[in-house]
Amino acid sequence: MIAGLNSIPAFSGNDLMAFIGIDSKVSPQILSDAFEVAAKVIQSALVIVIALLVSHWLRKGIAKFFRLPGRANAKSETLSSVLRNFVKYSVGFLAVCEILTLFGVAVGSILALAGIGGVAIGFGAQSIVKDVITGIFILMENQYNVGEIVRINGLSGAIESVGIRATKIRDNHGNLHIIPNSSISVVSNLSRDYQRPTVDLEFPSSYSVEKILSMLSDEMEMAASLPGLINPPAVIGIIDLSPSMFKVQIQAECESLYCWPIERELRLRIKLRFEKEGIQ
């Protein structure tokens, strides 16, 4: 990147005037100054174009590398996202430094001043530091990856990107939530290993418990062939009881991401069975 930016041909306002056929020796000073600024603007534009091209090629190369056979998985996609963001910001920073140098700004002095000022503003940037540190631990501990379904601080959705500073999740309604990593307190990963579809049913106490349990058990046996099941659905029994009602729970074990379709299918089957048996 640095070599690419340094390879931009250096030219002054006089060179630009000579290129278009204006004699710099007889032109007014204000015109010479204007062409000097124009030369720097043109060189800055070249820096931006090269930076955009380099950033695009590097990010595209990173994406292709992590999509090679044997590497294409959720963790690779997460690392690819982080590296692509790192390249984007790094190339942008170098381009800005190069442009400042073209205009005669002492970048080294600015960086030294920034180091001193960083101590002063560090107290105001503690949340950013926390975001970065938390983001590093999230990646190291492999807490979640791009594409997985999670619940973070009460928000549920699919991970769209995992960055050093923030995590983006998209919920079922299509809303994109951007969560600073430092604010993440509880993470529930719904895409790891297995899930337990659970259906709770409430009945008036006047209903026959024996009849209800028998009917539900029979229906769950017929639902044992649903796709994604690891263990078939079973009637756990009565989980709540009061003088006016009792509650029955049905539970199964399934592969990740099959939980909600199985719960919906079980509720549909139970509803149809209720209608068939005349249970309101």
Domain positions in the chain are 2-105, 127-189, 194-277
CATH class of 127-189: mainly beta
The whole-angstrom separation of Cα 65 and Cα 59 is 10
Choose among 197, 201, 200: nearest CA to 262: 197
For the domain 194-277, what is the CATH code?
Answer: 3.30.70.100
β-strand pairing of 176-180 with 198-204: unpaired
Q: Tell me: the pLDDT tens digits for 163-181? A: 778 899 999 899 999 999 8
pLDDT band at residue 12 using 50, 70 and 90 as cut-offs: low
pTM: 0.55
Question: What pLDDT digit, counting tens, does each position of 59-115 carry?
Answer: 888 888 877 665 556 667 777 777 888 888 888 888 888 888 877 777 676 666 666
CA distance 155 to 70: 32
Mean pLDDT across 40-52: 84
